[in-house]
Amino acid sequence: MTALFNDDEDAEILAAAREGFMEEAVELLAQFEQALLTMEQDPADSEAVNSAFRAAHTIKGTAGIFGFDAVVKFTHEVESVLDATRSGDLSLNEAAIALLLASRDQMEHLLDDLGPGEPDPALAEHSATLGDQLRALRQAPGGATAVAPATPSAKAAADTVNELAVWHLSLRMGIDALRNGLDPMSFIRYLDTVGEVRGIRTVDELVPALEGLDPESCSLGFEIRLATGADRQAIEQVFEFLRDDCDLQILAPDAPSEAYEQLLTARCTDTASRDALLAHWQVLAGPNEKPFIERREEAEPDRRNNEPERRAGKTDRRAAGGEDTRFIRVRADKLDQLIDLIGELVIAGSGAQLVAQTEQSPRFAEAALRIHDLVQAARDGALGLRMVPIGETFSRFNRVVRDVSKQLGKEVELQITGGDTELDKSMVETIADPLMHLVRNSLDHGLETPEQRLSAGKSAQGHLALHAYHESGAVVIEVSDDGRGLNRDRIFAKAVERSLISADAQLADEEIYQLIFAPGFSTADQVTNLSGRGVGMDVVKRNIESLRGQIGIASQPGRGATMQIRLPLTLAIIDGFLTNVGGVSYVMPLELVAECLAVPPECVAQPDQVTGYFDLRGEVLPYLDLGRFYRHEPTIQAGRRSLVLVRDGQHRVGLVVDRLLGEHQTVIKPLGQVFQHIRGLAGSTILGSGEVALILDIPALLDQATRQTVPGHHAPATGLTR
Amino acid sequence: MGTSPLALGGEWTIAQAAALHEQLRDALATGQLHWDLGAVTECDSAGVQLLLAARRSAQAQGAPLVIDPASPAVRSSLQRYGLDHLLTA
């Protein structure tokens, strides 16, 4: 019984760890891909090679822990190629990068295949094929001798900065290093990129005779003289992966013989091994260099000088190790619970402030205000935990653009800006698919082939840009291209053909462009395997609207098109502006409120009119009377009414309300099923007094206000559809 | 016995280390101390370590281990480790 329980528990822990690995693997594959794409552009980028190597290495290592042999075996081949590349034994051409990209996909498929059930035999076969190709790459006669351009230039750069000096490295491998897939040889080869190995002695005193040898254990040690202009940190970095599987001591070029003395004591337990190591050093020092260890008397005063050096080395190590712990993984639902809790705190805080106001106690009010400020800070902090930069999502399009443009025979350069713009993690996940569709749409329909571009007087290479930024409380994401732009007339004709509009409809360009988001709409004459199947654009719009966002289109024939997605910063809590209409509280997002005015005379001229236009300092703007729109009893409209000017991107609209109640922190609660079909409402919230307030969906209202004033458009006179 | 060198080709890597270990022990047990490593395609640290262990065993038997010929893979790995002398021994 107990055993069974333990098994269950183990299985649970293992399953959780496995899940963690899968998540990590996805990130690592992304890192790998990114590095390859960088290498494709600039083969001399040694940082990219390292990054790809590290990613492959970590995937292999972790897969090994879980016993995913198929992944380990295949990734090993990938890693070997990158290892040869980073040590300068192999340079990668375009075909090699393509092979590595294909290998990345294979790694992903292998990881996907790990679930229960039999592994896919076709997949294993593909692994073998790619594995052979990778091995062939590594053993190709040209490749083996070619020196990657990264190596000499990096070394030269290091040399010019610093004088060459000879460091001493003493390395003892951990017994499990080989078993863990860490071959010291690749690290020693990699030393070539930092400096020149002037001498190396393999310490084999601990290697037993064959009879006593465990062939998978490692008993090797190395004493290395390295001439380099690099610093200690750079040398340590070479052995970064080995950190847990080796004991590395680095002695600076000016290390006194006392330091060597200490090393000797640390390394050797008996006189025999002491003599052996001294002999190694003798050989390394050669006849011209002075021996590492001199007479003790001379060395003594240097002891203290050497201390800081050693210590500095240690802190470096810890700092490097600290990088791993800078991030912690937190379950998303824990975070959601925290945000919920803070939401309740916000409501309770508003309640306290309300009490303070009614009690008319200045000290209480002051205390409540202080709490309010802190709650606000805590709210921002908690929401910040969920915020992630969009750059990661953007960067995966590098591969998409590369692959798709090759497939279509187009030349496309992807430009990414604003990648550090942050938005809610859940939104990042939801937005990835619509973005993918928009990017593919641009590649497929927007951008022309090089010949078409040249004959249109444009550069052969098309440009696709992903751009993100914050604007008035929203995150804006733009996908733009310099292709042929949207064909207004063709969209119009298609929409008439699909009876989405009548043939005599008068529509602005923007409205016509929006038609491509209608369900079942597609203008592609030929259905390709990428897009143009008529599904997608409506789904794109639905996805974006489910995030309380909108999508807009700007297009110039022959010059290109821009799809602009606007998303709210967060889904949970907003700074609201509280108003009262007909005794009901309405909240609008504070960021969207531009100004508050007394109701202009135009809005009261006709008592039954829901919408119309008014004059704001010479500018004509639409207005919407919320009391009439939601059919509140006009009798309660006592006292001075106000007009709240709200803006949404480029557009502005005035909303007529009964009373202004001021700022309010608003925790967004979803509307119940019954109310979901009411227009212009984004959700509800609970006020400090316990009353329910309704959150206005400003973009939808703006749409209503402008649409209802367009003549000839069949819009219902009321916001309620029942 | 011992007239023609024993051919030990293939991969001298961690993946093959266990199998290779068996083979080398058999060779030593039968006194085969002249090895032909001309067909070795790959040689990593596990391979080098096997050679070092084999040399130690041979020394215990009072006979030198002769490696001739050696493939470029073996040669480059031994060079990398400053163990070229294993080849001429």
Q: Within this chain, do residues A172 and A311 fall inside the same structural domain, yes or no? A: yes
Question: What are the C-alpha distances in Å from B13 to residues A175, A179, A313, A400?
Answer: 16, 11, 33, 37
Identify the residue whose tokens are 């809590």: A573
Q: State the DSSP code for A710.
A: S
The answer, for A246 touching chain B at a CB cutoff of 8 Å, is: no
B-facing residues of A in 127-156 (CB < 8 A) are 139
Convert A452-489 to b/e letters by CB count within 10 Å (16 or more is b).
Answer: ebeeeebeeebbbbbbbeeeeebbbbbbbbbbbbbeee
What's the gap in Å between the CA of B4 and the closest CA on chain A?
Answer: 22
What's the gap in Å between the CA of B55 and the closest CA on chain A?
Answer: 8
Enumerate residues 6+ apart whose C-beta is below 8 A from A27.
none
What number is the ipTM of this complex? Answer: 0.92
Interchain proximity A202–B48, CB inside 8 Å? yes
Q: Within this chain, do residues A404 and A541 fall inside the same structural domain, yes or no? A: yes
Enumerate residues 6+ apart whose C-beta is below 8 A from A110.
A68, A70, A71, A74, A123, A127
3-class state of residue A560 by DSSP: strand
How many percent of chain A have pLDDT more than 90? 8
Interchain proximity A211–B14, CB inside 8 Å? no
Q: Within this chain, do residues A350 and A403 fall inside the same structural domain, yes or no? A: no
Q: Within this chain, do residues A164 and A311 fall inside the same structural domain, yes or no? A: yes
Structure token digits, residue A39: 């290498």
Largest CA distance in chain A: 108
d(CA A706, CA A624): 9
d(CA A629, CA A611): 8
Q: State the DSSP code for A64.
A: H
Structure token digits, residue A509: 């360009």
Q: Within this chain, do residues A303 and A175 fall inside the same structural domain, yes or no? A: yes
Enumerate residues 6+ apart whose C-beta is below 8 A from A380.
none
d(CA A680, CA A698): 7
Instruction: Reply yes or no on whether the pLDDT at A306 is more than 70.
Output: no
Q: Within this chain, do residues A679 and A624 fall inside the same structural domain, yes or no? A: yes
Report pLDDT digits (tens) over A557-600: 888 999 999 887 766 677 789 998 888 899 988 878 889 988 88
End position of a domain, from candidates A273, A306, A323: A323
B-facing residues of A in 626-645 (CB < 8 A) are none
Is residue A721 included in any domain, yes or no? no
Confidence of residue A630 (pLDDT cuts 50, 70, 90): confident
Confidence of residue A8 (pLDDT cuts 50, 70, 90): low
What's the gap in Å between the CA of A211 and the closest CA on chain B?
Answer: 7
Instruction: Reply yes or no on whether the pLDDT at A242 is more than 60.
Output: yes
A695 or A350: which carries more pLDDT confidence? Answer: A695
3-class state of residue A48 by DSSP: helix
A700 or A323: which carries more pLDDT confidence? Answer: A700
Is residue A673 included in any domain, yes or no? yes
What's the gap in Å between the CA of A155 and the closest CA on chain B?
Answer: 19
Instruction: Reply yes or no on whether the pLDDT at A531 is more than 70.
Output: no
Is residue A716 included in any domain, yes or no? no
Q: State the DSSP code for A443.
A: I
Domain that holds residue A684: 573-707
End position of a domain, from candidates A133, A150, A167: A150
Instruction: Reply yes or no on whether the pLDDT at A638 is more than 80.
Output: no
Mean pLDDT value across residues A379-394? 83
Cα–Cα nearest to A173, from A206, A220, A213: A220
Q: What does the H/E/C string look like for A607-646? A: CCCCEEEEEECCEEEEEEEHHHHCCCCHHHCCCCCEEEEE
pLDDT for residue A160: 46
Residue A22, amino acid: M
Between vectors from CA A60 to CA A169 and to CA B48, what angle results, nearest 5°? 45
Q: Within this chain, do residues A614 and A690 fall inside the same structural domain, yes or no? A: yes
Instruction: Reply yes or no on whether the pLDDT at A697 is more than 90.
Output: no
d(CA A146, CA A141): 9
d(CA A245, CA A219): 11
Helices (H), A287-420: 296-299, 303-322, 332-359, 362-385, 391-408
Residue A647 CB neighbours (<10 A): 17
Instruction: Reply yes or no on whether the pLDDT at B57 is more than 70.
Output: yes
Is residue A342 included in any domain, yes or no? yes
End position of a domain, from candidates A96, A117, A150: A150
Is residue A694 included in any domain, yes or no? yes
Is residue A131 included in any domain, yes or no? yes
Residue A664 sits in a domain whose CATH number is 2.30.30.40
| Residue among A87, A202, A205 with most chain B CBs within 10 A, to mutate | A202
What's the gap in Å between the CA of A193 and the closest CA on chain B?
Answer: 15
- Which secondary-structure segment (H or E) carries A692? strand A692-696
Q: Within this chain, do residues A314 and A227 fall inside the same structural domain, yes or no? A: yes
User: CA A453: distance to chain centroid?
Assistant: 33
Confidence of residue A629 (pLDDT cuts 50, 70, 90): confident
Backbone angles phi, psi at A538, to 5 degrees: -70, -35
Residue A524 sits in a domain whose CATH number is 3.30.565.10
Interchain proximity A183–B60, CB inside 8 Å? no
d(CA A397, CA A380): 30
| Residue among B41, B48, B49, B56 with most chain A CBs within 10 A, to mutate | B49
Cα–Cα nearest to A693, from A668, A672, A674: A668
Is residue A722 included in any domain, yes or no? no
Residue of B nearest to A222 (CA): B81
How many domains, in total, are found in chain A? 5
pLDDT for residue A633: 73
pLDDT for residue A163: 67
Residue A262 sits in a domain whose CATH number is 3.30.70.1110
d(CA A134, CA A127): 10
Interchain proximity A207–B49, CB inside 8 Å? yes
Structure token digits, residue A712: 């000839």
Q: Within this chain, do residues A294 and A362 fall inside the same structural domain, yes or no? A: no
Q: Within this chain, do residues A513 and A618 fall inside the same structural domain, yes or no? A: no
Q: Within this chain, do residues A303 and A359 fall inside the same structural domain, yes or no? A: no
Q: Within this chain, do residues A25 and A40 fall inside the same structural domain, yes or no? A: yes
pLDDT for residue A298: 36
Residue A53 sits in a domain whose CATH number is 1.20.120.160
Determine what percent of chain A falls in helix, strand and coil, rounding each to the nearest 5.
50, 20, 30
> How much is the pTM?
0.50
Cα–Cα nearest to A37, from A413, A408, A434: A413
d(CA A503, CA A519): 19
d(CA A378, CA A45): 42
Is residue A373 included in any domain, yes or no? yes
Mean pLDDT value across residues A534-543? 73
Question: What are the C-alpha distances in Å from A584 to residues A592, A656, A714, A719?
Answer: 20, 14, 28, 16
Question: What are the C-alpha distances in Å from A188 to residues A143, A196, A225?
Answer: 20, 11, 11
- Where is mean pLDDT largest: A168-172, A611-615, B2-6? A168-172
Interchain proximity A200–B25, CB inside 8 Å? no
Q: Do A591 and A566 form a contact (C-beta atoms < 8 A)?
A: no
Helices (H), A140-288: 141-145, 150-161, 184-190, 232-238, 257-267, 271-285
B80 closest CB neighbour out of A188, A201, A219: A188
Structure token digits, residue A362: 């200045």
